[in-house]
Structure 1
Amino acid sequence: MAAVLTAGAIAIAMATPAPAVPRGPATVASSDARASQDAQDTPFTRKLTADLLAHMQRLRVPGAIVSVSTPAHGTWTTALGTADLATGTPISARDHMRVGSITKTFTGTVILQLVQEGRLALDKPVAAYRQGVPNGGRITIRQLLQMTSGLYNYAEDPRFNRQLDQHPERYWSPQELLDIAFRHPVYFPPGTGYHYSNTNYVLLGLIAEQVTGRPLASLLRERVFEPAGLEETSFANGRSIPRPHAQGYMFIDNVDSLTAPVLTGKDAAWADWSAGNPRNATRDNASLAWSAGAAVSTVDDLRRWAKTLATGTLLSPAVQRERLTFVPTSDLPGAPTYGLAVANILGYIGHDGEIPGYNSFMGYDPATRTTIVVLTNLNQSPDGTAPAIELTKQIIDQLTPQDSAALS
């Protein structure tokens, strides 16, 4: 299970052009894919559709749902490719998909609402709310939200990933996930660095439950999904996904994804040719991510949520200002910055997500009032890239070419 902020690892190595190599089994989008009803037939959308289909072919993406909203072009939503490789069923813009770490924006919003209500304090130590956390007397709620706690990311544990590959149906309790993390030393003293860690958000989910006495699923529904009008979004912490949904696929298993490089040139061509058929991961147990990644949503809901998140509709202006206080994620040019359960990616305020079978991106740019949402039913391409991020780059290239160049 890949566990980093995907958009934070976008830098791609230079390489020679790929040779002509026979492709592996066909598991890619069809050029006769149908767009949703509100898609507009304009030169912009025709060019973008062609580019997206070409990149889906290259990335071996079975299906993708894409939505772009701008003042100039309006809202354009399209579904491209296949929802189910076994039946050939076309993907639909109404399909549900797991959204992985976009869940963190929901969990983080609940935490910030509790801060707003005076039931939590951003700069109070975690030990005030939960015992047994390494450095718990020094790590603050803010540092958990901002990925600066230094706590080990349980999703990087090799034994855990082997168990995910061998028993994808297994249920994991939040405490089991924390136990894995706490067996490892911390990365750095609190507040002295950045390291993306699902452990932070499992802790935050448990703290939210403890403070309120309410299950996390109820908190998310009552405090986020219903107030934001997210009628098709749910916390699906198990093996089931609401219907209709796209099947989710994996080429690279969880163990290999820990060290899978981003390949280019001959290496990428060989990886594509030798990839074989992907594994159907639709019913892998999402409890592996709990409050860090078990939500399910649709493109329409995420388009609505991206703007709500970026503009702070569910928070006070003061708390929203805290949320949008960002730290760098790396020294790479154009790398995202990270706030309180939200990323800033080239001015797009939002998040990406990856969980077995699915990859996603959503973002809203307040300066241009542009929203981009991309959902794919493949979590990682054979060349090691994140398909939703790669398709997002193509969209940004058409909207603002200079921004796309910064992503490369």
Structure 2
Amino acid sequence: MTRTRTLFLCAATTLLAAATLPGTAAAVTPAAPREAQPCVRSPHPVDGPGRQVLETVRRAKHDLDLKSVLVRVTVDGHELVTDAVGESMTGVPAEPDMHFRAGSVVFPYMTVTLLQLVEQGVVGLDDPVGRWLPELPHGDRITLRMLGDATSGIHDYVTDPAFLAQLEAEPFRHWTPEELVGIADPEHLWYEPGTNWSYSHANFVLLGAALEKITGTRLDRLLEQHVTGPLGLDDTRNSFTPDIPTPVLHAFTSERGTYEESTFWNPSWTTAPGAVITTQICDLARSAEAIGTGELLSPSSFRTQLDPGTVGLGGPTDTCPATVCVPDFNTPSTHYGLGLLVANDWVVQNPSFSGYAAIEAYYPGQRVAIAVATTKGCNTPDGNTAEVIAKELSTVLVPDHPLK
């Protein structure tokens, strides 16, 4: 999820304070969570790929005018590099164990949970969502699969100019699911459900609500039971407030015209209540490994997550503009799966909002996981800078098959 705005002059607030792959899935029951290890800087390598990773990160921090960069790379589950460069706040060095907002990293957690429920026979992937959300317009034609793979035809409220204006004017405002879905206007779809692809945050607001109705369990507890608990992601958690667990990686942005702190802007608009997560860089790398290998799914469910029928979808219609329904990754090797992106065989999620950017990326061919989180400086360019760095790192680590 990305909001890009023209940057303006920095203020003195600087001083104040996010195609099928080789089958590597394990059994449905994951291995026991690994013993928790502190998330700290690894010894600096003197040569080899680890040193190249650090050099790339330091160069990118300078070239992109970033305030901080956190990075962790693993190969076959073993640490290659963990580091943090820059500052959280002026005079406060960034550290690997600092927590940051992870946004859409939670989307594959939601779809993994859904696929597990399908495996257990609780639901069918093509069951109409109206069975659990009877008030949803077109709920008899929109399925659970369509919510997870963004083919429902429901508008994205994040592209709505009036919503963006309110978000800019009131960054601390709490948004309810009803308000967000109302802005998305599900009564008037962009296209017939299942016939096209368009990214919409509303899909995951609705999927979260459906998962709660299906299981009778609050979403944050459901995700902990099905994903973060089994994987040992102890530093990845939901909050129903803008709070972030300490230690905090602070964020700054110029998107409202002045360079200002945005750490505690209210993230309630980003997804369903119970799925508004923060994490740290070691958990993010572990998440990349688990999601990228299908660790929590059967091989058949993992194949479905990677391609639920979305390859080739994404095009303008009479009602869905080209700027929305033609994804910028509309190439034969890149598509959206169930809550994740498959890009040149890398399995990816890449949140970016309110001054935070991050990415988790996994390449099964060489079992490489890349996790990067960044915060903005005064003149940081628009876009997901963590993704920019991850792509550069992929050319170092997998030069014959980089992330594109």
Normalised by the shorter chain, which TM-score bucket? 0.7 to 0.9
334 and 51 in structure 1: CA distance in 2 versus 1, 3 angstrom threshold: farther
Query: 1:274-313, aligned counterparts within 5 Å?
Result: 278-291=259-272, 294-313=276-295
The question of whether the paired residues in 2 share the 8 Å contact of 1:67 and 1:374 is answered with yes
Q: 1:252 aligns with which of 250, 255, 258?
A: 255
SS for the counterpart of 1:46 is helix
Tell me the equivalent position of 1:269. Answer: none
Spell out, residue by residue over 1:265-318, the C-alpha distance to the aligned partner (whole angstroms, 9 max, x if none): xxxxxxxxxx8x622111111111133862111111121121211222222333
2:171 & 2:285 partners in 1: Cα distance?
30
Paired residues in the alignment total: 358
Change (3 A) 1:381 1:302: farther
Note the 1:9-408 alignment, pairs <5 A.
36-70=41-75, 74-84=79-89, 87-182=90-185, 185-253=188-256, 278-291=259-272, 294-325=276-307, 327-328=310-311, 330=327, 332-333=330-331, 336-378=334-376, 382-401=380-399, 403-404=401-402, 407=404
Note closer, same or farther for the CA distance 1:175–1:38 as it changes in structure 2 (3 Å cut): farther
Residue matched to 1:30? none
Conserved 8 A contact 2:105-2:349: yes
User: Retained in 2: the 8 A contact 1:233–1:296?
Assistant: yes
Q: Is the 8 A contact 1:96 1:242 kept in 2?
A: yes
1:39 Cα deviation after fit: 4.3
Residues of 2 paired with 1:201 and 1:178: CA distance? 10
Normalising by structure 2, we get a TM-score of 0.81
- The answer as to whether partners of 1:134 and 1:151 remain within 8 angstroms in 2 is no
Paired amino acid for 1:141: L
Which AA in structure 2 matches 1:321?
R
For structure 1, the 5+ residue unaligned runs are: 5-22, 28-34, 254-274
C-alpha change, 1:55 and 1:170, in structure 2 (3 Å) is: same
Does the 8 A contact of 1:220 with 1:235 survive in 2?
no
Q: Which amino acid aligns with 1:286?
A: P
C-alpha change, 1:154 and 1:380, in structure 2 (3 Å) is farther
User: Do 1:250 and 1:379's aligned partners in 2 also have CA atoms closer than 8 Å?
Assistant: yes
Instruction: List per-residue Cα deviations over 1:33-63 (Å, max 9, x = no partner).
Output: xx81344332433333233222222222110
CA displacement, residues 352-374 of structure 1 (integer Å, 9 cap, x when unaligned): 11221211110211111111111
Q: Is the 8 A contact 1:237 1:286 kept in 2?
A: no
Provide the C-alpha distance between the structure 1 equivalents of 2:339 and 2:237, rounded to a whole number of angstroms: 18
AA of the residue aligned to 1:304: R
Aligned equivalents of 1:120, 1:39: Cα separation in 2: 49
Measure, in 1, the Cα distance between the counterparts of 2:362 and 2:349: 10
**Matched residue of 1:377: which SS?**
strand
Identical pairs, percent: 29
* Structure 1 residue 196, shift from structure 2 partner: 0.7
